[in-house]
Amino acid sequence: MKRQDARFHGILCLDKPEGFTSFDAVAKLRGMIRQRRIGHGGTLDPFATGVLPLFLGRATRLCDMSPVEDKRYTVTLRLGVETNTQDMTGKVLKECDGQISRTDLEALLPLFTGAQQQLPPMYSAVQVGGQRLYDLARQGIEVERQPRDITIHHINLLDYNENTRRAVLDVACSKGTYIRTLCHDLGQKLGVGGAAETLRRTEALGFALQDCVGYDTIAAALEEGEEAFARLLLPLETVFRSCPAVHLSPAQDKMFRNGVRMDLARIHGVPDRESGLLRVLGNQGEFLGVARASYETSELITVRNFCGG
45 among known catalytic residues = yes
* 3-state DSSP percent of the chain in helix, strand and coil, to 5: 25, 35, 40
Nearest CA to 174 among 275, 66, 16?
66
Question: Pick the catalytic residue: 5, 24, 45, 159?
Answer: 45
Bridge partners of residue 247, in order along the sequence: 268, 281
Closest CA to 73 of 185, 197, 235: 197
**Cβ pair 52, 61 in contact under 8 A:** no
Of all helices (H) and strands (E), which one includes residue 204? strand 194-204
Q: Which of 39, 65, 67 is nearest to 53 (CA)?
A: 39
**For residues 100 and 106, what is the distance between their CA atoms, to the nearest angstrom?**
10
Q: In residues, how long is the chain?
A: 309
Which of 149, 140, 164 shows the shortest CA–CA distance to 118?
149
Q: Which residues are catalytic?
A: 45
